[in-house]
Structures are given as structure tokens and as C-alpha cells.
Structure 1
């Protein structure tokens, strides 16, 4: 997901804070805290407050990752009276070419210079069916699947796998300013599927089977995303999150930065099918991630990651790990 920064001070008057013990965290002792510490160190250099900087300076010298978290942090449950919700996201991967061919004919565009973030420009239909983008040299590459490109735009980042085995990594640059309209909901409205049947895979299959009508369905969503090329992230690492650092599969999460400081460890207890009890690092944000108990879990790159992420929509609870003094400073003063 994309965008944002913040500090976990009260975003609303009804925000509550409760300090817990590590024994209160279900499954804490069984987790791989070394993996979480490795992800934490990925974004430590970007934490500027003195208490966080001190922890980042100490972290490399700790031989015991569990001891690092238990000695220097306190678990804090932050509540804004809204129910917890956990979803998943991923980095799509497309097959592509640096030149247009009969197979690779769907362009991935850079931002046109006249586009201004936050203002309306041309709709998806105008971008795809008129000459507005022609002969301007804005193509980053060409891909073979319009649905994969569509969902890469929704995710805000992705990778293009070229025929020689190399990759082009894409990052969000700008949008045309139109709000997203669900093509899945449109298929339900047309009576083609029931709501419980719709998924990214189902949409992709329908688009491929229906040719021009399938591509026209995607234009039901007028929103369009332009990309930039990310050049300094190795292929084995994840995409850049909101902190402009690579995300880590099943260790990075997108949060609402009004409640959770970006870079903070967050303990997630996801219920439902395939429960998760694990320490993540809040390294990303997203336009749909709103609330103190709302998080989006990063599942990695590619089709399998996308399928796993798409199945996730479960309740649970999220606990933020904060430096000790910062944790206790959140509690209301006791009236004597």
C-alpha cells in the first residue's frame, strides 16, 4: 500500500490506551523475533525521535531479539471503538517487454507532466482509447495482461518480468484523480456473479474470456495510476512502502499513521481461518486503512501471494510496541 507518516498521539477524543504485559500476547513466545527485528532494522534509520534513535542504535548489539523487544518496549493496545479488521495485500508481477509486440501490447505509463496529484485529469477510458498518450515516450514497458496491469494500479506497485529474466520494479508516481469504482461490484450488479463469488482471479478470467467487453469492464473504474521505475531495490527484496524502504513478506504491515507511528513494531493476532499470531513492523499505509485496529498484511510478490492476500478479511486485535517512556506517557494522569 502507499503514503503517509505520523505519531501515535490521540487522533480522537475516544481513543483509549491500555498497557499490557508480553504474557498477554497470544503466541508471543513461539514467534521468530529475529525475523521481526530484521524487518525493524530496515526502517530504523528513518526514525528521527530520540527515543527511537536510541533503540535503533542499540538493536545491532543485541544477540537476543526477544530480549530486545521485552526489555525496551511495552505492548500498548490502542482502541478507537471500531472493531479490528485485518486484510492482506501483495506486489503483483506481470510479464512484459520493453517494446510493443503482438503479445505485449498494454502500456505501463509514466506520469504525464501536466498531471497534478489531487486534481482530475483524463479518465481511464480517455487514457486508453484516445490519442492523449500517443507518441510521447511515456511508456515504461508493455505487458500482456490488462487485468494484471489493472490490479497492479490498485496495489500501487508491482514488478514486470522481462523475457530475458530481468525485472522492472514499479512504484506509485501519481493518479488521474478519479475515485476507484469496483469492477467486482459491477459484475454483481449485472447479475453475472454473486458477491461471494467475486475475486481478482474471477475478474481476470472473465476479462480474458470476453475480449473487448472484458477490457471495457475495467473502464468502469475511471481511476488510473502512473508509475515510476524503482532502480535501487534488488529483485529479491519487496517493494518500497510508505517509508521508502523495502517491505518484508509477512513481517510488514500497513497501518493508519494517525494511531500507529510508522516504523513501530505491531503484534497482530488475526482470528478466523489460518490464525496469525506474529510480530510485524508498521512500514506502510493505504487509503483504505483507517482506524486504530486496522492493518493490511504484506504477503509478498506474485500470484500465490495475491491469492493468499485476497482471502484475508478477519477480526482479531493489534498491539503496538512502544518505547517504555513513550508507552507510559500515553496513559491519562491519575487524579489524586
Structure 2
């Protein structure tokens, strides 16, 4: 059995490097990292973390945060968490709270939760914090000379293989591909799809007018489309093709096309406008391709991995192997491209294939131009504290 499992792990690794990276469920946005901004901090690869129990006074800025927006986000989490034994009682107590002013909320968390500082496996206390947002595009339900770039729904021939079903050691590990006779092979890459649109005939949800905006829609994982009919359509992540994500910002820097300090989302968009003939080849260097689904128009925000709408400025994407989905997380970082403190209680309601390691988060900025401006620039250092119900334990080895 051990040899068989080793073979499966090795084979899975080879297939993953060919056609998939990370773990991602069919309903969550990919939450890719923000493009490179200057100066990029050195980052060591992390796969796990430990959690050190601390006093509330150790949380930088805890006493000064306005907790009410995070409280609303946590209540959304409880619609899911209340079904889990570790969270059931805490979520029930949350419904009995008579006041929701900051004093009452702070007292609630300090009474019914225990803070754990997230520590990297190399004993460092800081990690990378990036940002993402919900963009606005212009589009149509019918193709035309103006609306030429399709947004696709998930195709029926896209296979997802759940390795953990047969091997618990590979829990949360998923492979994607398609059948070619009796073989499972990697699914079509971005280059395949861009160069041969007939591959996905019939799966078009709509068409948009800007190829670069569509590319960044894939990175953000959700968005709104103002249609030529005047209506606004909300779309969210449905699935992805399983290929690894490759940063085109980093590639432009390596090619000498952009200086490092301009390799932000905004800088890449400007480069695309100035170099339309070079643009398709550049976009194809990121083989990952994302598929979408139409969402109800009355949603307050895009749906995250937890299955609840995200809250602007209070939801983060995390690595679920280190931070439980739905849990409150206190974050101490800085505003994008700044030393100004940004210390907030957040809620872990999303995950992403590029969000790996203990102290690693993607900060959801919300919808629109200003949110995109902040998300595109954000590549900060930060500390994180996981808040767990007082009788529960964090998911990794704790240091008491």
C-alpha cells in the first residue's frame, strides 16, 4: 500500500505540474496574486504554519479597529460555520448579542475566542499580502465587431479528478483534464483557446470589448458586465482549466518591456494599449484559463469559496491548510505602496490557487475603479492572528 501510495503521489505531482497547481473548488474565485510592484519583498516558499497562542494585547491595533463591518462578514460565515461542531455554539452566541457597538463586539471576541499568532515554519512572523477586486467591463450577449472577446461557461468535457476520495493523504488535491480516447490529458491551454475559438463553441456566456480587461477578469475571478442593453450582469468563477498561473507582469520585466516599478496591473494595461500586436502572445504565456457563471443580480458581493458573498475591505482569501475557511483573522499590514498601518479584523471567506502558506492572504477591496487601483498596487508585508472559538484548536500544530 505504501509503495502504491508513493506511486500515486509521484504520478499526481507529474500531472499537476503539467496541468494543474494548487487546490480549488468549483465555486471559488482563483484570487491570483497582484502583479509585481516595486520593490517586491523576498518570499520563501511555505507550505504549512504553526499557531502560537497569545494574549489579545499582542494583536497590533486590535483596540482601535472598527469591528462592525467584520462582524457583519462573520455573521455571513456563521450561515456555514454553524453546521460545524467546533463553531456551532459560538455562532449561536453571536445571534444572542443585544448590542453591536465596538465595545460589545470586542468583549464578545475576547470572551468567546482565543487568538493565535500565525508563525511561518522558518519562525518568521511576516508574510505576503496582496489584493483583488471585482472589476467592471463592457459587454454584450451577442458578438459584434465591438464585442469580440468571449467569456466562457465551464465546458462539459472538463474533468475534475478528486484524488482524496481514494487516498485521504491527498485530500483537497484536484486534477483537471479531458478525455482523449481512454486517456486523461491536460485540458486546453489559454493559447489553445485563443487560437482556436471553435474548441468552446456553444459555451459563450457573453462577449466583452477589451481583451486586457478580460484577462484581468480571469485573474480576479468575478466581475460585473455593463451590457449594451443597459442591464448589469454579475458573473463569478465556475472552474479553471488546471494549467499553472504565470505572471505576465513578471514576464514583461524579464523581457525588458516594463521597468519593475511600472509592472502593476495599471502598468500592464497601459502596455497592452501601446502594444496591441504584441498583446495576444503575451497573454498566452499565462496558460491558465478561467470559466464563469452568471450570478443573481441582487448579490451584495461575489461568492467566495465559503459559499457566501464577500465583504469589501473585510474578506480575505487564505490557504485553507493553515487557516480554516470562515474564521476571523486579525491582519496587521500597510496600505498599498505605503507605510500607513492597515490593521483590521478580517474574515477568511475565500481561497486561491496562488495563496499558499500560513502568513499569506489576498485582501478583497470590493467593486469598481478605486478598488482596482488599490488591489493592483497591493504587495505588502503583514502579520496574521487566527481567532478560534475558545474550546477549539487551530488546524496546524500549535505552540502553547
TM range (shorter): 0.7 to 0.9
Q: Which SS does the other structure have where 1:58 is aligned?
A: helix
Deviation at 1:230, TM superposition (A): 1.7
* 1:58/1:112 CA distance change after superposition, 3 Å: same
Looking at structure 2, the residues matched to 312 and 274 of structure 1 have their Cα atoms a distance apart, in angstroms, of: 13
**Cα pair 2:52 2:117 within 8 Å, conserved:** yes
Q: Answer yes or no: is 1:57 the counterpart of 2:69.
A: no
**Cα pair 1:105 1:144 within 8 Å, conserved:** yes
| 1:146 alignment partner in structure 2 | 211
Q: Answer yes or no: is 1:3 the counterpart of 2:19.
A: no
| 1:197 alignment partner in structure 2 | 262
Looking at structure 1, the residues matched to 267 and 195 of structure 2 have their Cα atoms a distance apart, in angstroms, of: 25
- TM-score, normalised on structure 1? 0.88
Looking at structure 1, the residues matched to 273 and 214 of structure 2 have their Cα atoms a distance apart, in angstroms, of: 13
Which residues in structure 2 correspond to 1:1-336 (within 5 Å)?
Answer: 3=24, 15-47=49-81, 48-62=83-97, 63=99, 64-80=104-120, 81=122, 82=124, 83-117=126-160, 118-119=176-177, 120-133=186-199, 136-231=201-296, 234=298, 237-271=300-334, 273-327=339-393
CA-to-aligned-CA distance 1:276-307 (integer Å, 9 cap, x gap): 11100011111121122111111011222121
* 1:152/1:50 CA distance change after superposition, 3 Å: same
**Cα pair 1:3 1:284 within 8 Å, conserved:** no
What is the RMSD of the two structures over their aligned residues, measured on CA atoms? 2.5
Deviation at 1:332, TM superposition (A): 6.0
Looking at structure 2, the residues matched to 165 and 262 of structure 1 have their Cα atoms a distance apart, in angstroms, of: 37
- Number of aligned positions between the proteins: 323
CA-to-aligned-CA distance 1:95-134 (integer Å, 9 cap, x gap): 1111122221111111221122412222222212225246
**Cα pair 1:76 1:327 within 8 Å, conserved:** no
CA-to-aligned-CA distance 1:23-57 (integer Å, 9 cap, x gap): 22222222111211110011212113323111111
* 1:285/1:129 CA distance change after superposition, 3 Å: same
CA-to-aligned-CA distance 1:71-101 (integer Å, 9 cap, x gap): 1111111213354221111122211111122
Gaps of at least 5 residues in structure 2 are 1-22, 28-45, 161-175, 178-185
**Cα pair 1:73 1:323 within 8 Å, conserved:** yes
Deviation at 1:164, TM superposition (A): 4.3
Gaps of at least 5 residues in structure 1 are 6-11
Looking at structure 2, the residues matched to 209 and 332 of structure 1 have their Cα atoms a distance apart, in angstroms, of: 53
